[in-house]
Structure formats: C-alpha cells, structure tokens
C-alpha cells in the first residue's frame, strides 16, 4: 500500500460527513459519524488521502478495562473498494491496539450490511451470536436496544 495513514483531523472528518454517500452509497450512517469521536478518540482515528481527498478512514477506540480495541467506523470510498485499503487501515489499528495492551479487536454492524460482513469475514474475524433466518450470526436485542447486531472479534 503506497498511501500513508495519517491522524484524522476535524477537517478530514467534516469531509467524510459531507461526502458520506461516496463511502457508503447512502447517508444511513451519518448519525453515527459524530464529531465527538475525533475529538475524544483522535489518537485512534485515521485517514488515507489522495491529495486533499480522504479516500478511507477508520475510527477506533480502546476499552482499557477489558483490553479490547473497538473499530467503530471504517469507510472506503466506493471508487476505491477491493484494493486492500480497509485491511491496511485495520492492520494499522490492530498494531496501535497491541501497543496499548489489547488482546482482541471487536466490531459491530447490522445484519443487512452484507458488504461489511463479507469484509470482516475475509480479514479473519469470528462472528458471535446465533444464526438468524438468513444464517447470519447475530446478537439478539443487542444491549437491550431491541435490534439485532452482528458482533465480530479477532484475537491479536
């Protein structure tokens, strides 16, 4: 991978928010792209750019009490899919989490997000929960939310 990973700035994150459809094909995730994430977890928020244009980003955080790194958001512009960029960002976060004493990385998605599920399966994550009617392992009523979530993890 030739592109350099950089810390995500507020301007980078504003660009991601303004161009969210270029990353996700929809704006359905805009509500979880909160600026507070970069303010609070900026040390573990990363971007890859071409010039001034963000082409990929990852926002993670560390659960110090359980020695777990969480990937909260990862996005790659649709025009840059299937080039290994998402894996490259994940590996960078994994190394950061190892240095912070983490033993595991976790992530969540919704059962309908087939692309995310396929990506996380490809990078070797294990899926928790019980199969739903489509065979996708889910955590039912995740954290009493009334919604099922796909929870994934990998030992590092």
3-state secondary structure of 94: helix
DSSP character at residue 83: S
User: So what's the architecture of 1-102 in CATH?
Assistant: 3-Layer(aba) Sandwich (3.40)
d(CA 72, CA 59): 6
The pLDDT-based confidence of 7 (bands split at 50, 70, 90) is very high
Residue with tokens 């087939």: 114
Residue 94 has which token pair?
A: 């994994």
> Cβ contacts of residue 97 below 8 Å, gap of 6+?
44, 60, 62, 69, 105, 156
Residue 114 has which token pair?
A: 């087939």
What is the rounded average pLDDT for all residues in the chain?
95
**Cα-based torsion angle of the residue sequence 109, 111, 112, 113 in order, rounded to the nearest 10 degrees:** 30
Q: Contact 57/74 with Cβ under 8 angstroms?
A: yes
pTM: 0.93
Q: Where in the chain do CATH 3.40.630.30 domains reside?
A: 1-102
The pLDDT-based confidence of 2 (bands split at 50, 70, 90) is low
The pLDDT-based confidence of 107 (bands split at 50, 70, 90) is very high
Per-residue model confidence (pLDDT) at position 143:
84
The pLDDT-based confidence of 122 (bands split at 50, 70, 90) is very high
């Amino acid at each position: 991978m030739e592109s350099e990973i950089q810390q995500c700035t507020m301007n980078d994150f504003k660009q991601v928010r303004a161009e969210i459809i270029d990353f996700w094909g929809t704006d359905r995730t805009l509500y979880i792209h909160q600026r507070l994430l970069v303010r609070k977890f900026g040390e573990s928020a990363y971007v890859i750019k071409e010039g001034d244009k963000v082409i990929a980003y990852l926002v993670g955080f560390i659960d110090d009490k359980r020695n777990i790194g969480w990937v909260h958001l990862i996005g790659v512009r649709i025009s840059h899919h299937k080039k290994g960029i998402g894996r490259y960002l994940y590996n960078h976060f994994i190394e950061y989490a190892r240095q912070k004493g983490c033993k595991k990385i976790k992530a969540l998605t919704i059962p309908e997000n087939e692309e995310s599920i396929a990506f996380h399966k490809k990078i070797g994550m294990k899926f928790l929960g019980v199969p739903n009617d489509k065979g996708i392992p889910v955590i039912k009523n995740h954290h009493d939310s009334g919604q099922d979530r796909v929870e994934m993890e990998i030992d590092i």
